[in-house]
Structure 1
């Protein structure tokens, strides 16, 4: 019976779009609504649904730095009906944390389908706050050790490790406050309860554009097409370099023909105008990479962040 159900599910995905209008694909985001992962999931769902002849519905399953959502997808049938918006943190960082006790390793339990975008990380503060430059934040941390606060999307998230990397590179002590996603951390920055955050530009692009947040620097050496005047943080803190990515993954064991169909739909969506435009408008750099390329990126970042975690001693909570 299980094999028959799986064959039926695979049949609808491989069939012509017109034959699958009533089918639904779940696209799981492991983070809160409004953050970068959620936005990419929704943009991708809207773009790939018509190409697959299906309705792609986004579900937010938050917790454990995206691992709760990843675990739910990994345990789903490998039939193309359940996908995961896979960002860097749960695949490349969370499993590497010291003392991590996770239900599974998302980097091993999920199979890459395609990458859609790279993300510069932005060093942001409240526009109405006291900081006009990165140097102002560092000076405050120097004057008040352990009292300057940075927020993140959770312990072991890329935002958290970016803050820890900043501490390591500057030798300054700052306090980390984790949240269940980037959006609530941004709320507390705007409310004056958190001093800064280093996060995906997609998390904060709209607030920077509307003037409620101030972008002080970028985490990588590139330039943002949305914020061309932003300079690299490495000009102030030598050696600082963080770049994120946002792909689509599926449970391991996905039949090759189904994986190819999903990858082809995402490739076609990225070749159009709408999806890349929406990604760029939200601070991301559109970049299509196939499953093999995304797999290599995941493995490379797992090695990179493992070294940072061991050097800084970041432990899971």
Structure 2
């Protein structure tokens, strides 16, 4: 009889859980964006989130929680209930942050979360103030070699993707350009516009109008291939063979979120990314929609973790 009662209890719990998943979502969903309002990740999330909310029948609230390079928002979601009502937008910084905090317990970027899908691939680009006498990647390399340590560049902060993408480029190109870390990409962008720093590494999305107006010069894109929105800008890898660093934005849920909920969120995100309106909007933002599977996203996270742990170690970068 004990075995029968135990089996009945397990069945009841499973049935209850299945019914709960079928009623999901029953209230607004929160997506934490660990970056400032107006940045690439924030804009992408709002675009896709609006379309997902129509499919899910519940509002999706975007909650910006910047701080500590993304650590603040990420730890918030890592500790959240695994009920599908709080998710996290991530970029390569997700696997970089724990490497920067070596010796300090933060979060496990793989085991601590359930992957849903990659929203889109985007691009980072090196830009120069018009006064800098270079226009191409090769000219930048030649000038830096003739003037070691005389050029400087701004990034979103020590250990940020903009910093490490540039550090990887400098290492592979064999040149010395001084790093000037900022607390976010916006102040770095403002200072290169003002000529306070000569170069900057930043996302293509906020740089597009500045490049178009001639207020900044685009030197090269970090990605594997040229941006569909700006095919005139060469990749850095066209000059520095082997260099490639793709920037992506993906959606994760807290570890332990039921598979049925992950599947529902994945289906909704993929449907949103297939929408002509969303695809058109992302294209204009210089982003290329993806919508891969949770397993494919997990494999991406594992590959990126291995790559960036080595870059962090080689660069000597540590959290501020």
Give the alignment partner of residue 266 of structure 1, picking from 269, 276, 283.
Answer: 269
Partner in structure 2 of residue 15 of structure 1: 23
What's the CA shift for 1:166? 1.9
Answer yes or no: is 1:82 the counterpart of 2:90: no
Give the alignment partner of residue 186 of structure 2, picking from 169, 172, 183.
Answer: 183
What's the CA shift for 1:309? 2.3
Q: 1:14 to 1:189 in 2, by over 3 A?
A: farther
1:32 and 1:182 in contact (8 A); partners too: no
Partner in structure 1 of residue 34 of structure 2: 30
- How far apart in 2 are the matches of 1:256 and 1:123? 40
Q: 1:10 to 1:227 in 2, by over 3 A?
A: farther
What's the CA shift for 1:313? 2.6
- How far apart in 2 are the matches of 1:192 and 1:10? 59
What's the CA shift for 1:236? 2.4
Give ranges in structure 1 of 5+ residues lacking alignment: 1-6
What's the CA shift for 1:86? 1.0
Give the alignment partner of residue 52 of structure 1, picking from 56, 60, 64.
Answer: 56
2:153 and 2:177 in contact (8 A); partners too: yes
- How far apart in 1 are the matches of 2:35 and 2:182? 10
Deviation sequence 1:27-50 (CA, Å, 0-9, x none): 111111221111122112211111
State the TM-score, normalized to the length of structure 2.
Answer: 0.86
1:35 and 1:181 in contact (8 A); partners too: no
Q: 1:200 to 1:303 in 2, by over 3 A?
A: same
- How far apart in 2 are the matches of 1:71 and 1:119? 24
- How far apart in 2 are the matches of 1:150 and 1:218? 15
Instruction: For 1:151-170, list aligned pairs within 5 A.
Output: 151-170=154-173
- How far apart in 2 are the matches of 1:97 and 1:218? 25
Query: Relative to structure 2, which stretch is displaced further, 256-265 or 273-282?
Result: 273-282
Answer yes or no: is 1:73 the counterpart of 2:81: no
Q: 1:41 to 1:308 in 2, by over 3 A?
A: same
Instruction: For 1:268-307, list aligned pairs within 5 A.
Output: 268-307=271-310
- How far apart in 2 are the matches of 1:12 and 1:50? 20
What's the CA shift for 1:262? 0.7
Q: 1:45 to 1:153 in 2, by over 3 A?
A: same
Answer yes or no: is 1:116 the counterpart of 2:119: yes
2:134 and 2:143 in contact (8 A); partners too: no
Partner in structure 1 of residue 7 of structure 2: none
Deviation sequence 1:157-206 (CA, Å, 0-9, x none): 21111111122112222221222332222122112122222333234234
- How far apart in 2 are the matches of 1:34 and 1:200? 12
Deviation sequence 1:259-311 (CA, Å, 0-9, x none): 11111110111121122222221111111112111111111111112222233
Query: Alpha carbon RMSD of aligned pairs, Å?
Result: 2.6
SS of 2:52's partner is helix
Give the alignment partner of residue 314 of structure 1, picking from 293, 312, 317.
Answer: 317
- How far apart in 1 are the matches of 2:22 and 2:180? 46
Answer yes or no: is 1:213 the counterpart of 2:216: yes
